[in-house]
Amino acid sequence: MPAPTTLSARNLVRFHGKRRVVDDVSLELRRGEVLGLLGHNGAGKSTTLMMLSGALQPNSGSVAVCDFDLARRADLGKACLGFLPEHPPLYRDMRVDDQLLFAARLRKVSKVQLPEYLELAKRRCGLLDWGQRLVGELSKGYQQRVGIAQAIIHQPAVVILDEPTVGLDPAQIRDIRALISELGDSSSVILSTHLLHEVEQVCDRAVILREGRSIFNGTLDELRAQSDIESSFLRLNADAESEHA
Amino acid sequence: MIRTLARKDLHTLFSAPSTWMMLALLQFILGWFFLARLDDYLQVQTQLAQMDDAPGATISIAAPLANLLALLLLMLTPLFSMRLIAEERRNQTWLLLATSPLSSAQIVLGKFAGLLALLSLVILAAVAMMALLALGTRADVGLILCNLLGLWLLAAAYAALGLYFSAVSRQPVVAAFTALAVSVTLWLLDMAGGLLRALSPNTHFQNLNSGLLSSADIAYFVLFCTFFLMLTIHHLRHERGGH
């Protein structure tokens, strides 16, 4: 029997002005699955993730998290998901512990469970000794860890991470990828990236976006079988990396 | 949920050195004004004693002090309110709130409550100063309470207005200037005649300031706050692309 669906998005469309940024994107996520949302810059990844997390409402289409429609029961649906945007949403003048406790309270974690959840989130993200530090004093890598910790502190069924490894050094990237794989054991994870090899390392399935449209939606084996998509993506990727260099 | 957000905002406001500096400056101005008025009153006290219907210490000292605080609230509230939403957006922390199980109304009420809690402390400090009059004379408790209510309603009105402009502005500074410009315009309407005058918060505050407690004035402030809070909620819903 397949694992239960934790998130499903149907026919999402979103306009920015007159431009269709996301065009008829549908995807489904099952428990224990890591889904890679792949696309180069401007492909509509972030807008799609904002709709999946309830920060933006689609112009048409629907998103359901744990069977709660985000348009109708946003409070219940959002309580089941954790989101790390491209820039971690952190208050620089707060201590790490306060930041995480605030995020947990917002997601309706009960007072009794707060210490236990805080401890667990910090342990998973390697932040046990950093609780009393001010967020603004941390390095980018550690801020990213706090960003992930705030997304998972309420132990959500769905974790959405928008380019979590961008701007990190290789050791930090390795740690974050290991953490994402570990998260995939207990929650469902959606990970957006423009790196194909990142998807190959940590994801079970992939959705590829190009100009707001989904051009591939399937398992990694299916992706490898469609060599034209892979090669075209690799070319895009190589272009992006040479630009970066 | 509203309390969690209000407590966080109060913490953020108090962790900024600028808040402490503004509060210290405010207390200094109020303290200095209080002493100056007290001094003036003591100098003319003997002449006042010979009058049949002489003004008491409360109306001569406490009421002008409340009037001054009303003017200072007009100028200071936008400086506190500007950060509430515009800064969250600029620092990208807005997405934490937008993706949490909070409705737009809860976010707006939480932020409003946080700012109002800070302004309430400012008002209570000033009212404590007025209450000091009871040490040397029989203070008019009714008038002091009426001024406390007036100041609190006025602060709530400016907080709601400031919150709206913080929601519609991309930059906190723009939010502060727009809120200040609108507040000053509304304040100046008090000098106009007829219906325009009734739109000014100052007109309604003046009644409470002189000890006149009228349900019409209270209703005005309640409506004023509700209008701007609803406008803010509507703006945030619209921004999410909601209905």
Q: Where are the domains of chain B?
A: 2-239
Question: pLDDT-derived band of residue A240, with 50, 70 and 90 as boundaries?
Answer: low
| pTM score | 0.88
Question: Taking residues A220-236, what's their average pLDDT?
Answer: 69
Q: What is the model's pLDDT at position A245? A: 47
CB spacing of A59 vs B241 below 8 angstroms = yes
Are the C-beta atoms of residues A29 and A37 closer than 8 Å to each other?
no
Q: Which two tokens stand for residue B25?
A: 């400056």
Given a cut of 70, whether residue A220 has pLDDT beyond it is: yes
Q: What is the model's pLDDT at position A239? A: 55
Question: Taking residues A59-79, what's their average pLDDT?
Answer: 89
B12 → closest Cβ in A58, A93, A105: A93
Given a cut of 70, whether residue B22 has pLDDT beyond it is: yes
HSE at residue A138, side-chain half, CA atoms within 13 A, is 24
Residue at token pair 């009212």: B127
Q: In angstroms, rounded to a whole number, what is the distance separating the alpha carbons of residues A146 and A125?
A: 7
For residue range A133-145, what is the model confidence (pLDDT) as tens digits? 999 999 888 899 9
Q: What is the model's pLDDT at position B110? A: 95
Contacts of B95 in chain A (CB under 8 A): 50, 53, 55, 83, 85, 89
Question: Taking residues A65-69, what's their average pLDDT?
Answer: 90
Helix (H) or strand (E) holding A25: strand A19-30
So what's the ipTM on this one?
0.87
Given a cut of 80, whether residue A236 has pLDDT beyond it is: no
HSE at residue A199, side-chain half, CA atoms within 13 A, is 27
Neighbours of A184 (CB within 10 A): 20
Question: pLDDT-derived band of residue A39, with 50, 70 and 90 as boundaries?
Answer: confident
Contacts of B11 in chain A (CB under 8 A): 94, 98
Q: Report which of residues B192 and A228 the model is more confident about.
A: B192
Question: pLDDT-derived band of residue A181, with 50, 70 and 90 as boundaries?
Answer: confident
Give the nearest chain B residue to A57 (CA atoms).
Answer: B241
Q: In angstroms, rounded to a whole number, what is the distance separating the alpha carbons of residues B18 and A171?
A: 39
- The identity of residue A195, as a single letter, is L
Given a cut of 70, whether residue A238 has pLDDT beyond it is: no
Question: pLDDT-derived band of residue A192, with 50, 70 and 90 as boundaries?
Answer: very high
Which range is least confidently modeled, A52-66, A170-184, B53-67? B53-67
Q: In angstroms, rounded to a whole number, what is the distance separating the alpha carbons of residues B159 and B123?
A: 14
B100 → closest Cβ in A50, A76, A107: A107
Buried b (16+ CB within 10 A) or exposed e, A45-61: bbbbbbbbbbbbbbeeb
CB spacing of A106 vs B12 below 8 angstroms = no
Are the C-beta atoms of residues B183 and B80 closer than 8 Å to each other?
no
Q: What is the model's pLDDT at position B225? A: 95
For residue range A4-28, what is the model confidence (pLDDT) as tens digits? 888 999 999 998 888 888 988 999 9
Which positions in chain A have a beta carbon within 8 angstroms of at least one beta carbon in chain B? 14, 50, 53-59, 74-79, 81, 83, 85, 87-94, 98, 102-103, 105-108, 150
Given a cut of 90, whether residue A104 has pLDDT beyond it is: yes
Contacts of B2 in chain A (CB under 8 A): none
DSSP assignment letter at A211: T
CA distance A139 to chain B (A): 17
- Write down the H helix ranges in chain A: 45-52, 74-79, 96-106, 114-124, 140-152, 170-186, 196-202, 220-225, 227-244
- Count of CB contacts below 8 A, A vs B? 68
Q: In angstroms, rounded to a whole number, what is the distance separating the alpha carbons of residues A25 and A55?
A: 17
Environment class of B27 (CB within 10 Å of its CB; exposed 0-12, middle 13-18, buried 19+): middle
Given a cut of 60, whether residue B159 has pLDDT beyond it is: yes
Q: Please give the order of strands across the beta sheet that includes A34-38.
A: A81-84, A158-162, A188-193, A34-38, A205-210, A213-219
Q: What is the model's pLDDT at position B53? A: 74
CA distance B170 to chain A (A): 17
Q: In angstroms, rounded to a whole number, what is the distance separating the alpha carbons of residues B123 and B131?
A: 12
Question: Taking residues B109-135, what's their average pLDDT?
Answer: 90
A91 → closest Cβ in B93, B98, B99: B93
Neighbours of B51 (CB within 10 A): 8
For residue range B23-75, what is the model confidence (pLDDT) as tens digits? 999 999 999 999 998 888 888 877 877 777 777 777 888 888 899 999 999 99
Give the nearest chain B residue to A53 (CA atoms).
Answer: B99
Question: pLDDT-derived band of residue A232, with 50, 70 and 90 as boundaries?
Answer: low
B95 → closest Cβ in A75, A85, A91: A85
Q: Which two tokens stand for residue A85?
A: 């945007």
A106 → closest Cβ in B92, B102, B242: B102
Mapping DSSP to helix (H, G, I), strand (E, B) and coil, where does residue B192 land?
coil
Give the nearest chain A residue to B107 (CA atoms).
Answer: A106
* Best residue of A84, A86, A106, A107 to probe chain B, by most B CBs closer than 10 Å: A106
Q: Which of A104, A121, A102 has its CA nearest to residue A182?
A: A121
Cα A95 → chain centroid:
24
Given a cut of 50, whether residue B200 has pLDDT beyond it is: yes
Mapping DSSP to helix (H, G, I), strand (E, B) and coil, where does residue B37 land?
helix
CB spacing of A89 vs B100 below 8 angstroms = no
Q: What is the model's pLDDT at position B243? A: 40
- Write down the H helix ranges in B82-171: 83-90, 94-98, 104-131, 141-168
Give the nearest chain A residue to B7 (CA atoms).
Answer: A102
CB spacing of A88 vs B240 below 8 angstroms = no
Q: In angstroms, rounded to a whole number, what is the distance separating the alpha carbons of residues B161 and B177?
A: 12
